[in-house]
Chains A and B, each alone.
Chain A
């Protein structure tokens, strides 16, 4: 009896009326191959020597979607066909998003490596009109302005978060919460205009200074710091606070010795993410910090160059030697991306390694 059932291969009623497991993969390979052949033929007929990878994948994906839908409709019925179609669409949405990412990283790395040399990190652009020169003035300016912005934003943001979580009740806390939401939505260029309007009142029109850039960045940074710190402080279990109070520890000591140390990893992560958010801002710095080709250590006098503005300016105002300026722009872009990614990575590592293990 058992041998009889085993010897019959298509007896499983659960898999009847379904496409075999290999069918989607086979269809995928087929449609990609057909698409590649199509494009190769077009390429031969038009005598162009560049194979359009994006086009191949796009046409192949459309072909696959049509094929899998038709086959599933015939073999499995309407509902499963729709399911397979949606799976295809959702997966291809993800792959579609990878294209700009890969293309962008590829171009930036390919373009930037040409000038990632020691000269780029040790020279400014003073008296440089052609090849050579570097971005050290811009890197320094970025670090100065972002550092100053962090110095302003972190205390204000952290204490606001403490107020909202530990002290805030009533209309003031509600108003602050609401207006932080509003502040999150301020476009970066408006923050730059605000800093300009503020400093123009005191220093006259046409003011350019690094400190103004730091103020503009703080306007953008504070709400991010508040939001992330608030989330982290809320995650601290109330039992910890109550235990501390029960031991007779005053509230301010409870906050500074119990609550903040518990949340410090998350807060640091939030601060680093917020730094990486503002370090790439161009528009406000273009307006208030201006641009220059020289080093400027003084944050309160004269324009300060920053890395994003350096990239923009190298592209927008190339001198006679356009290629050299473009190379510097790409190298600046690569440096900027590297800084931002290091910050993000560091934030992730800190969050993972140092966060307290809450049993939730």
Chain B
């Protein structure tokens, strides 16, 4: 469509003279003048100044977004390069190389986000099903708003809550778990005295990504064809069997994409992790001890205000690693969704 406005550049001399100057009457002029012009050659679309401005501005806005994204990539890469080329001894903690510096952070990022998703996904699917198929119809929308309230809470507030309420609350449970279930590798080690462990962080992150996963799953579940549901019920299925054979298979692609988006959100979450976790530079699966792998984002937030020299570049480089990780997760989500779309019957 935009091509048509570009094609007829030869007509410029015809157009430019009177019409672009006048505003409202010009809409009528072309109509009255046209019959004679259409006799010989096929009619060309008119080009008005307003149209040109509009299509030009809107296309510029779109291109600006592409430029911004390119700028994000270019500036991050440009500022990261010094960190990769410099003598690693100058970096904080004097690691043997930049990759040794970033590895525990990347591990912590993925580990915390994966745990958060593990906790959030079943609960989110439950809530979405409750709102879409179980709650009384009149209450359902109000209940949806209640869950959306969680999305309205800023992440610093979650951090404050996690450290002041959740961490002290779960600490006795952690102590009990390490004493009685210490044989289980995840619960091994000495329980943290403050409760500020990676498990607490994962719970906070799970609460934070709950509303987004719930909202998306709810949308998908509500789109289940009524006929599928009624067919299942007519065959004598109980409500759960109806959900299992009609709703969940229909919503599978939606669930996958929702959880991937939630994972992406958890990967990039900064403040809650920075505030709640007591960080260390380790790669460890232990959930309850006081030496926890920290995440890339939290590490940046904690160290950036005081960083100087090449350490700033190193932090930006870790940010780039985070960007790549989230990009991979989001792309995988999109590929899964696009592939599933063909089979899910969503089009029928």
Residues of A within 8 A of B (CB): 54, 79-80, 82-83, 86-87, 89-94, 96-98, 100-101, 103-104, 107-108, 111, 155-160, 162-164, 166-170, 172-173, 175-176, 179-191, 193-194, 196-198, 200-201, 205-206, 219, 222, 226, 248-253, 255-256, 276, 279-283, 286-287, 290-291, 308, 311-312, 315-316, 329-330, 333, 336-337, 340-341, 344, 348
Contact = CB atoms under 8 A, between A and B. Distances in A.
B50 A250 contact: yes
29 contacts: A80-B238, A82-B238, A94-B127, A94-B130, A97-B147, A98-B146, A100-B207, A160-B62, A163-B61, A167-B2, A167-B58, A182-B69, A182-B327, A186-B72, A187-B323, A188-B270, A189-B319, A190-B322, A193-B315, A193-B316, A198-B75, A250-B51, A252-B53, A252-B55, A282-B156, A287-B304, A333-B160, A341-B152, A344-B152
Contact of A222 (B65, B143, B320): B65
Contact of A96 (B123, B149, B241, B320): B123
B114 interface: no
A167 B1 contact: yes
A279 B134 CA distance: 34
B327 A276 contact: no
Nearest to B264: A185
B137 interface: no
Which secondary structure dominates chain A's binding surface?
A: helix
Contacts of B239: 83, 86-87
Chain B interface SS verdict (over half): helix
Question: Closest 10 CB pairs between A and B?
Answer: A187-B268, A280-B154, A93-B126, A159-B61, A163-B58, A83-B238, A283-B270, A252-B54, A185-B330, A252-B50
B159 interface: yes
A226 B156 contact: no
B59 A156 contact: no
B271 interface: yes
A226 B65 contact: yes
Nearest to B210: A97
Nearest to B270: A283
Nearest to B59: A163
Given A82-B240, A194-B75, A197-B79, 17 more contacts: A83-B238, A94-B127, A98-B146, A156-B64, A167-B2, A172-B59, A187-B264, A187-B297, A189-B270, A189-B297, A189-B319, A219-B68, A250-B48, A251-B54, A283-B274, A333-B160, A337-B154
Interface in B108-125: 122-123, 125
Contacts of B31: 248
Given A104-B161, A107-B165, A194-B72, A79 B241 contact: yes
Contacts of B150: 97, 100-101
A201 B75 contact: yes
A87 B240 contact: yes
B308 to A, nearest CB: 8
A280 B156 CA distance: 8
Interface string B245-269: 0000000000000000100100111
Contact of B238 (A79, A169, A176, A290): A79
Given A93-B123, A311-B156, A190 B54 contact: no
Contact of A276 (B68, B152, B334): B152
B181 interface: no
B71 interface: yes
A235 to B, nearest CB: 15
Contact of A315 (B58, B64, B160, B308): B160
B300 A287 contact: yes
Given A160-B58, A181-B334, A197-B78, A94 B131 contact: yes
Nearest to A276: B152
B166 to A, nearest CB: 8
A190 B325 CA distance: 12
Contacts of A226: 65
A173 B69 CA distance: 15
Interface in B200-240: 207, 210, 214, 238-240
A156 B160 CA distance: 35
A107 B300 contact: no
B76 A337 contact: no
Contact of A333 (B50, B157, B308): B157
A205 B316 CA distance: 13
Contacts of B312: 205
Interface residues of B, number: 99
Q: Which of A193, A253, A333 has the most CB of B within 10 A?
A: A193
Contacts of B72: 186, 190-191, 194, 219
Nearest to B315: A193
A131 B154 CA distance: 25
Contact of B69 (A104, A183, A188, A198): A183
Contacts of B207: 97, 100
B155 interface: yes
Nearest to B207: A100
Interface in B273-309: 274-275, 297, 300-301, 304-305, 308
Contacts of A279: 154
A204 B75 CA distance: 14
A187 B270 contact: yes
A169 B241 contact: no
B190 to A, nearest CB: 23
Interface string B30-63: 1100000000000000101011011101111111
Given A159-B58, A341-B149, A193 B154 contact: no
Contacts of A190: 72, 76, 268, 319-320, 322-323, 326
B153 interface: yes
A43 to B, nearest CB: 14
Interface string B184-205: 0000000000000000000000
A308 B61 CA distance: 30
Contact of A186 (B1, B3, B323): B323
A107 B65 contact: no
Nearest to B236: A79
A299 B196 CA distance: 37
